[in-house]
Amino acid sequence: MACSHTFLVTGATGAIGRRLVTALTDRTDIDQIYALTHLVPLRECTGRAVPKHGDVSRDGDLGLTPADAALLKRTVTGIVHLAADTRFAAPLDELRRTNVDGITNLLAFARQCRTLDRILVLSTTHVAGRRTGVIFEEELEHDAGFVNAYEASKYEGEIVLRSKGCDLPVAVCRLSTVVGDSVTGEIARRGAIHHAVLALYAGLAPMVPGREDSPVDLLALDEATAAIAVLATDAFRPAATWHLCGGQSALAAGDLLDLTMAVIHQHRPSWRRRAIERPAFVSLETFELFRHSVDQVGDPAMRAATSIVAQFAPQLAFPKRFDDRQCRTALGAAGLRRSPIREVWTQVVKRLVQARTTVDTTGGAEDVATAIGRE
């Protein structure tokens, strides 16, 4: 007879968290799910999924009420830790509150759970920072530096896990860039890569820092959620680290750019008449000079678009490919397969350029700048 579980999911209102709560609810081997919410309520919670308000950055009880903390410590058998501050441009000290201190608090809480047998912590493949080459799943420590403070804070969080959590049944899932639904292209929450597409559409991205041949690792949202559910249950293994990513299927940056422009041409034929040129790949030094000039004399739309590109695109100057053999093996045993990323990205770009609430039929720059500033 299969074991039954009671799970705590932190970060339950995030793009992954909402879908994961639903995915875990659908499983027959899970009796109860406690969904930790913070700023945003989780209205989807019904039946076996129960919302609990808290804050992982607050204390070793995760900001729960005394009664809720006692209940969870008595009953929880598994934790999926998704709570994170994912703002690329935020100061490091702000990011540390959730991404580092939150890990310390999670470990303190876990040690008080009487029946806990698993903790799956979601991280990012980009804890690799400015490293280049092949990045293996078991690797972590390096001194190559980072492209942004978000990467640095997630790296520090993993260091805390390794140094302070070795007595607990912890596994790590490093997620690459999640872009949208594999079938519909639906985007749960727009990130920097989506805004970069809108900037390209509006003619506000004349150059990209990096190399044509740099791998861009992308993953479909629905397939990422299904995989996390399996890694937290059937495939769970203490001390494992999995790269949940595209791996060998990652597209070269130049190919991804060409595909993006082709999809826009197909679904917005009028865009072709605007004769927007393909953005040039340039060195980081050249891009920084361009960014400085835009900050000094550029219009608000160009400044907003350049800022978005600067938050993530510099990774393309440090080409790397993530080895995911252990993760693929674990998911393959559960029968999970991934859609070709070219098909996924095609649906995502189509969805973006057809979203009239954000970009009008002429691709106005003001609409893109407004969207970037609002979201």
Mean pLDDT for back-to-back runs of 10 residues, the chain (375 residues) = 82 93 92 89 72 96 97 98 94 97 98 97 97 98 96 98 95 97 93 91 92 96 97 97 96 97 92 89 94 87 88 90 97 93 97 64 41 37
Q: Where are the alpha helices (DSSP H) in 244-299?
A: 253-267, 269-273, 284-297
> Quick one: pLDDT at residue 297?
82
CB 314 within 8 A of CB 210: yes
> Quick one: pLDDT at residue 331?
96
Length, in residues, of the chain: 375
Q: Which amino acid is at 243?
A: H
Q: What is the dihedral of CA 262, 225, 175, 231, to 10 degrees?
A: -140
Cβ atoms within 10 Å of 316's Cβ, excluding its own? 23
Pairing of β 280-282 and β 207-209? parallel
Please tell me whether residue 239 adopts helix, strand or coil conformation. coil
Q: What is the largest CA-CA distance in the chain?
A: 68
What token pair was written down for 229? 């559910």
List phi, psi (to 5°) of 287: -65, -40
- The structural domains of the chain, ordered by start, are 5-175 (3.40.50.720), 192-215+251-319+339-374 (no CATH)
Pairing of β 78-81 and β 5-10? parallel
> Quick one: pLDDT at residue 364?
41
**Residues near 40 by Cβ (< 8 Å), separated by ≥ 6?**
13
What pTM was computed for the model?
A: 0.92
Buried b (16+ CB within 10 A) or exposed e, 255-272: ebbebbbebbeeebeebe
> Quick one: pLDDT at residue 308?
85
> Quick one: pLDDT at residue 304?
87
pLDDT digits (tens, 9 = 90+) for 168-197: 999 999 999 999 999 999 998 888 899 999
Please tell me whether residue 101 adopts helix, strand or coil conformation. helix
> Quick one: pLDDT at residue 44?
59
